[in-house]
Structure 1
């Protein structure tokens, strides 16, 4: 073999930092050793992987092609090392989930996953759809569970389960007695909704097509619980996943509103990088999600 895993590590660290000194520091190497490893990798194949401008190294076209393959190869090597060290098929799993999924579904899956292999570690990052998809794209997460639709040539986005949004208000709100809302009522209402970039907001905007520019959106909040509290306080009406509202509906602190002319159905999705090595841990996580 004409290259080493260490050379690939230096290549990836340099691509990430765009500076050989910072790359060396991240790998606990000397600057000269890191520079030599990268130079040897390029010389062995008579190629250049970076465009050099002073001390900054920017991936060129060949470097961008090599990046996901090198990342995948190192992840497989890391998986093998963890198996040999821990005598298990499952190593650390880095999962990203959007707020609805992360707060209401992913924790249960994580508990089941970790109970199967005592000592296995799961890192759960919760953020909006755009952030999770970007982290998967850059190999910062092994798998994402998202609410919004996402298209990217390097991402494999697979439907997981059905969901729907529900418009809701406090029991004391004037619309609570009305129950059914037409377009006129939607335009007259004051809204508290999720922020741009979230899957929930994406579905809401699509459902309100034709009305959105004229709607009175008072607050855009990142957290589901903050929206529920604001609606309970009578600041306006909201629209969130039915999954997040089930307990509040049972308590009676919030009430659902029917909007027959609008379609709030959507799906949750798995998102993985197309070049990502599908470890046994990833496969088992997907199986547990499907079994919910």
Structure 2
């Protein structure tokens, strides 16, 4: 690798990711911690998927979308955490140029899928509560499949557009990435050319694929709340709220972590602090989702008990 202040694209073979700690003892602790987080996330989300597949009571749109969310969470955490675990074990912060682009593309794809599926789940709850008599027609299997296909298409578009923008960078002024994984904003910061137009395009796409889903979720829940308040029975009100509680908790965790990362990066210029903040939505959120749905959702809890009796 060439160590010139400005490097041509063809000369950059690898980047250096930020280290959460340089202390060997702390690195060993972090290795065990993140390995545990990764395994718990895999097992928790796989369990949710298996329960939904094998329990016929859960073969409804709400849990169809939840199984897709769990699958996406598995892939989302797998794009970043295993690389960091290997780096901690091998005491290496290197990532190849091709590996960096691949990690960036996959991360953006699965993060966008997470975003889109959460929006679709909000729409599903809106139809179930505000239009219960038409629910089976409006959310038939074909419609559910089309919604997931749309999520996939938007995510591919978002990922590949960012990829094309980064590929336009012709030289880098540094190879030190200020995070533990590759992100378009980090690579644009390393560009030795003017990236104003690229940043404008990225901001525009982020608004379209970030703000509009949030507005869709807020609008859905506003209508849900108004519909629930019209229900005369207290028990039916509680049941309606409880079906939305898990999803709303996951939405708040996902977007709260993302907003916290961006606000934190704006205030703090420490790469280590930014990396720790990024862990919230790359690792903590996918890990907690199965626990949220298991503890707060009665259908999942009952299905888990039935699955446990069937297996053991």
Note whether the superposition's TM-score is higher than 0.5: no
Name which one, 1 or 2, has greater alpha-carbon Rg. Answer: 1
More strand by percentage? 1
More helix by percentage? 2
TM-score between both structures, scaled by the size of structure 2: 0.22
TM-score between both structures, scaled by the size of structure 1: 0.23
